[in-house]
Amino acid sequence: MKILAISDEVVRSLYSPNIVSRFGDVDAVISCGDLPYSYMEYVASMLNKPCLFVHGNHDCDELTECGIVLKKPGGWVDLDGRTVLLGDLIIGGLQGSVRYRPYAPYQYTQIDMRAKALRMVPQLVLNRMRYGRHLDILVTHAPAYGIHDGKDLAHQGFTVLLDLMARFQPRYLLHGHTHNYGRGERITRYLETEVISVHPYHLLEL
């Protein structure tokens, strides 16, 4: 299975008919957040494949040139706080970043995110009973604490993601939020999980 993962930045070559010749053979698309909904809808309509996403901390309603307000990306399945089955893959998601402003959507304290993750545990346990494993791919916007994150509060990672990887051993964790301009490693191994910084896009072949 091929998965096109996108995050945080509009890529001109993907926002054009060239996307079909380059990525028309992918089986699914995953967004790790912070992308215009119109861009996401374009990708979904051009590739016509299952599309799954989590919100980023900068996501907001978008006013299109036609005067239509997009409150979410059409054609995409929201993964936040749950798991879905895509073919043989179990995919789950957690949206947002560490809270750095008093009132902002898709921002959470470490305690908030831990509570969100705990609410997913019954689904993960049920997955283990049904399919023999908890989770194949965990999709997040923010990275895990200490892996591809930043020193400033806005780009700090979530500690609970380390616990999820240790306990439930997903094959992959895909995240956005931190940009890859000269940041070094995009792929880091943590226990049994390959952590991939998606920005601006990444082709994952399973």
| pLDDT tens track for 28-61 | 999 999 999 999 999 999 999 999 999 999 999 9
| pLDDT over 60 at 64, yes or no | yes
> Which of 173, 10, 163 has its CA nearest to residue 91?
173
User: What's the token pair of residue 111?
Assistant: 């305690």
Domain holding 119: CATH number? 3.60.21.10
Q: Is 116 helix (H, G, I), strand (E, B) or coil?
A: helix
State the residue range of the domain holding 157: 2-205
Q: Taking the model in full, what pTM does it have?
A: 0.95
Q: Contact, 204 vs 170, CB < 8 A?
A: no
Q: Contact, 199 vs 58, CB < 8 A?
A: no
The mean per-residue pLDDT over the stretch 154-177 comes to: 97
At position 82, the amino acid (one-letter code) is R
User: What's the token pair of residue 12?
Assistant: 């001109």
Residue 29's pLDDT is 98
Q: How many domains does the chain have?
A: 1
Residue 49 and residue 3: Cα distance in Å, rounded? 10
Please give the DSSP secondary-structure letter assigned to residue 144: B
Q: Where residue 183 falls among pLDDT bands split at 50, 70, 90?
A: low
Residue 102's pLDDT is 87
The mean per-residue pLDDT over the stretch 144-154 comes to: 93
Residue 45 and residue 23: Cα distance in Å, rounded? 13
